[in-house]
Amino acid sequence: MDWPVGRADGLSSAVMSNFFDFEMNDINGETVTFDNFRNQVSLVVNVASK
């Protein structure tokens, strides 16, 4: 299943095919791909605020 990836401005910028295609920045600003967590139980929590 493909779904659009939302952006803060409400526009979609890309299509991701699964959870493991996503990337994020860790606390040190380094890019981490969710693929690093394949075959592990993962809980994603959005702690961002305005």
How far apart CA 50 and CA 14 sit, in angstroms, is 23
Percentage of the residues of the chain whose pLDDT score is greater than 90: 24
Dump pLDDT digits (tens) for 1-49. Answer: 555 555 555 555 566 678 888 888 989 999 999 999 999 998 888 887 7
Q: Which pair of structure tokens corresponds to residue 8?
A: 């803060």
Q: What are the structural domain ranges in the chain?
A: 3-37
Q: How far apart are the first and last CA of the chain?
A: 30
Please state the pTM of the whole predicted model. Answer: 0.49
In this structure, how many other beta carbons lie within 10 angstroms of the beta carbon of residue 21?
A: 14
